[in-house]
Structure 1
Amino acid sequence: MKTTPSHPTDHTAQVVVLGAGPVGLSIANYLGQVGIDVLVVEKLDQLIDYPRAIGIDDESLRAVQALGLVDQVLPHTTPWHAMRFLTPKGRCFADIQPMTDEFGWSRRNAFIQPQVDAVLFKGLQRFGNVRTLFSRDVTEFSQDAEGVTLYVDGPGGVRESIRAGYLVACDGGNSYIRRTLDIAFDGKTAPNQWIVVDIANDPLGTPHVYMCCDPVRPYVSAALPHGVRRFEFMVMPGETEAELSKPENMRKLMAKVLPDPDNVELIRSRVYTHNARLAGEFRKQRILLAGDAAHIMPVWQGQGYNSGMRDASNLAWKLALVVKGLAGDGLLDTYEQERRDHAKAMINLSVMAGHVLAPPKRWQGTLRDGISWLLNYLPPVKRYFLEMRFKPMPQYTSGALVASAPAIANSPVGRMFIQPKVLTDEGHHVLLDDVIGSNFAIIAWGSDPTWGLTAEQLAFWQRLGTRFIQVLPDVQMRAEREVAEGVIRVGDSSGRLKEWFGRHPVSIALIRPDRFVAAVAIPQTVGKACDALAHALRATPMPVAQPVASKVA
């Protein structure tokens, strides 16, 4: 039921972000840096201070880089973090440590979430157009054709009203917004709980993450930054958090993994349940769900946090275009269209990894150990697993993109573009995204990326803040040559950009702000590709300049 405010609205914004977790903070940072008026509303009185996620991947670091905060985040990470699965007898049957850095960062990294959340929150202070309200509990909301109205209970029980154009609900797996909208959240809850134990001054000191497939009590041992060690133990039937937290029972758990269970500095322990659930819809008119509000998954592949960051990266730029009037509201439909299938794939992967660690049946553990032994005699298959090639990378086949015409085998459209280091005209070696910023990019190998565009097309893409980038072999950067106005030259220092373009019969890539390839072309077809992408983006047409009336003497 819609409630009409009995008093003037207390707070207004173009976008309200509900929830000051990593997804909400990332969306607010992006919107803030592109000039959107944002209000972040958080139920708690401060950011959550207990560790949750411990794995951040290269895609998430690239998203943080786009927010201009990666230099502050990196000191709280451990790069090139391996994940090792051990049999009950201690044999390592899977040492997963992919060494690729195609997106500019280490594929797997350990981190402590509250420290990175604090960086994201501090980042909001850069923007006068972003405000944060803590200790606000949403009790009622409604939406109409123009926006969303929320009512919150603030400090001291004072009721406040909020009015915004759009609401992004990042309010967790138990999302009040999702439940009130009666959106399904189908999936399963694992029968077993796990207890997490975080210890300061790491008593083991060994690097990496160990998944110990013990049939009596499976456990995880993870080295984290700043000398923190995390242990996770399966809670057995009949055990409770209160019982396990007693000193004598905690000592028994520690004795399983440490020679001296009494000599530890306990930070905290918590019991949690694994869920694998996916929202039936990610959007209801002017309300969008992101992160755990849209999907939750077991922790075993560290993809809950990273899937949420992918949501933020996918949604924020689209919402910005719509709010600015540069794209139609229909662009927001492509958020679910692109993100839903991949989120489901990551849920399935996380469930599978959990079954590898703790098989539901004893015979499945025996089969796992036998297969792992056979893998030693099948190097190509073993590499497939150890290099994490089984991890489904996001690839969009429809949405805010243009399918290659004619069709290209293994088309790069819908995949994330690479991020090598490039040489600038000023002589600096930087990562490619540092040149692109938070914008669209039209990247051309060797040629002028604006050559095939009309003046109207050029003006349209400039209106979206597009960066026009010409890539050359770095040795050619020393040659004097004329560069079209507004074109940025970069040198291909590593040869990776030449190799990327050499794999496909194209020389121009149209890159979205989330670094996904939206279309490909050659100079003679780039104009058509740009027009098709503008249509896919539901982009609004350029305003027509009115002729100036001549004065009559």
Structure 2
Amino acid sequence: MSKTAVDVVVIGAGPVGLTLANLLGQQGVEVLLVEQGEKLIDYPRAVGVDDEALRAMQTAGLVDEVLPHTIPDQKIYMVNGERMILSEVNPTTREFGWPRRNGFVQPLVDQVLLDGLDRFPNAAVRFGAEVTDLVEDADGVVATLAGGETVRARYGVAAEGGASPTRKRLGISFEGETRPTDGIVIDVANDPIGTPHAVFGGDPARSYASIALPHGIRRWEFTLFEHETADLVDDDAFIFGLLAPHVPDPGKLDIIRRRVYRHHARIAGRFRHGRIFLAGDAAHVMPVVGGQGWNSGIRDAFNLGWKLAAVLKGLSTDALLDTYETERRGHVTQMVAVSLGMAKEMTDHDPEKAAERDRLAANRTPEEREAQKRQAFKPQPKFERGVVVHTPLPTFKTLPARDVPRLAGSIFPQPRATDADGVEMLLDEATGQGWRVITWNNDPTAFLPGERLAVLERLGAHLVQVVPTTQLPWARKHAAAGVTVVGDLGGESSLQAWFDAHPVGAVIVRPDHVIAAECLAQELGDVLGKVFEAACIA
């Protein structure tokens, strides 16, 4: 019986396992990714990647390889059985630096993530390696593979899908519901329609989706009725009958693949069991209508990745890992509920309910339609607990009295800015990745005692001084040692606009771009100390 020792063993080479392995590999963590299959899965799954996930790809250094497999700013039309538009989803903001909605081809993006592991000698992947058991002992975890080989690791992450054998062996519940009807997915090459948008059809006769994908691919999804069996997926006459109302000649379609899937909405009873973590579909599943299953899994990997690395490098204590579930559960619960609600609204075949839905849609106000258009129904991550320090609104007379929500626990924006030489780029590229202390106009070191600076240095944090581009030559000349100067471009989405809108002069940003705390410049030293406590800095 051979043994392998690593820092982290990740089970499942889906998008979550692949993303997590890349993030850990980037941090110098020794990670082994094991996958039961002989190669990456290529059957139909996710078709939408959002701005948060693209920012995670940017952090992992792979966004340039991912973008060629996307359709940016993909518009969605929700229509009824008569093809009348119920609502339009077309968010065009770049709050986090990337388009909020993007169509994509998942197998090709998964391949980008797999190829990305070649960059790291400390990251390895094993295909054809089924994990038959994963147990915890006093020193870590031991994964047993189907041939008797064992892998010892300090931590284990199960990202092997909704049927997660690890979750089942641990006896962790998976509460929720399964929709009574299945769906059928059909992917077609040489798109016979050729339009760039997606259509979700809430037709009581049979609900459907038609989605343009990159590289001339189109996807159709149809709801099956309870009396229709899964083997119909292999019946050409049935498939052509589904497609007949959508294309001139179904018999001439170049069908790549077709598959039946189930609509689940479930959340694991816990995401952590000692040194074992659940991530992605192993921890939560949701109907595909909301387009957030893939993205929610990427958020898991992004949240867990930096925390595992911090603990394994001795920067934080193991208690930091408790915040993974603390932070992720609330948001994913919201996302599952939204996805389930959308699924019920668009796939309900009761004509009376469909008519009521259509009536409500027709009576929406212009403001409600605009909210739908900008995707306001999608809950943004906002952590009330975890690695978050909530500071009270300042009451000093220098600041106007405004009822402004505190943003600690939410994602810091990523506008375009410049480096110290005036070269324009996205903010994360200008500041550097990892922990960041960002101040407007001020030298951050002027407000930080030596012991705080020493901890920041140990964390590899970036001290960032943001100034208007007019001040760049002066700021670059007079910047303190170790301070990164960033030029603000001005305008509605600039950092100056962000600081104008919030009564703070400093913000502490975590490696996953979440605001750990915000404060006045003079408070920075004390608030940073509280952040260190929340992050269990060793």
Shorter chain as denominator, the TM-score bin is over 0.9
Q: Is 1:396 the counterpart of 2:389 in the alignment?
A: no
Q: How far off is 1:145 after superposition? A: 2.5
CA distance in 1 between counterparts of 2:24 and 2:367 reads: 44
Q: Is 1:513 the counterpart of 2:500 in the alignment?
A: no
Name the SS for the 2:149 alignment partner: strand
Aligned residue number for residue 228 of structure 2: 239
Quick one: which of 440, 446, 452 aligns to 1:445?
Answer: 440
Q: Is 1:220 the counterpart of 2:218 in the alignment?
A: no
Aligned residue number for residue 254 of structure 2: 265
Q: How far off is 1:245 after superposition? A: 2.4
With the length of structure 2 as denominator, give the TM-score of the two structures: 0.96
The answer to whether the Cα contact below 8 Å between 2:33 and 2:126 also exists between their aligned partners in 1 is yes
CA distance in 2 between counterparts of 1:177 and 1:285 reads: 13
Q: How far off is 1:147 after superposition? A: 0.2
| CA-based RMSD | 1.3
Quick one: which of 56, 68, 76 aligns to 2:69?
Answer: 76
Q: How far off is 1:215 after superposition? A: 1.1
Quick one: which of 500, 516, 523 aligns to 2:498?
Answer: 500
Aligned residue number for residue 356 of structure 1: 345
Quick one: which of 523, 527, 530 aligns to 1:529?
Answer: 527
Quick one: which of 98, 105, 108 aligns to 2:91?
Answer: 98
The answer to whether the Cα contact below 8 Å between 1:139 and 1:151 also exists between their aligned partners in 2 is yes
Letter in 1 for 2:527: A
1:17-416 → structure 2 map (5 Å cutoff):
17-153=10-146, 158-359=147-348, 361-375=350-364, 378-406=365-393, 409-416=404-411
Q: Is 1:424 the counterpart of 2:419 in the alignment?
A: yes
CA distance in 1 between counterparts of 2:263 and 2:35 reads: 24
Letter in 2 for 1:478: P
Deviates most, 480-489 or 507-516: 480-489
Q: How far off is 1:383 after superposition? A: 1.2
Consecutive unaligned residues in structure 1, runs of 5 or more: 1-6, 541-553
Identity fraction in percent: 44
CA distance in 1 between counterparts of 2:453 and 2:507 reads: 15
Aligned residue number for residue 398 of structure 2: none
CA distance in 2 between counterparts of 1:140 and 1:312 reads: 22
Q: How far off is 1:313 after superposition? A: 0.8
Letter in 1 for 2:45: R
CA distance in 1 between counterparts of 2:218 and 2:278 reads: 33
Q: How far off is 1:504 after superposition? A: 1.3
Q: Is 1:482 the counterpart of 2:478 in the alignment?
A: yes
Name the SS for the 2:118 alignment partner: helix
Deviates most, 357-366 or 119-128: 357-366
Letter in 2 for 1:398: R
Name the SS for the 2:252 alignment partner: coil
Moved over 6 A (4+): none
Q: How far off is 1:238 after superposition? A: 2.0
Aligned residue number for residue 453 of structure 2: 458
Letter in 1 for 2:158: A
Equivalent residues, number = 527
Letter in 1 for 2:289: W
Quick one: which of 532, 535, 538 aligns to 2:536?
Answer: 538
CA distance in 1 between counterparts of 2:431 and 2:142 reads: 36
CA distance in 2 between counterparts of 1:382 and 1:226 reads: 31
The answer to whether the Cα contact below 8 Å between 1:83 and 1:210 also exists between their aligned partners in 2 is yes
With the length of structure 1 as denominator, give the TM-score of the two structures: 0.93
Q: How far off is 1:227 after superposition? A: 0.3
CA distance in 2 between counterparts of 1:269 and 1:441 reads: 46
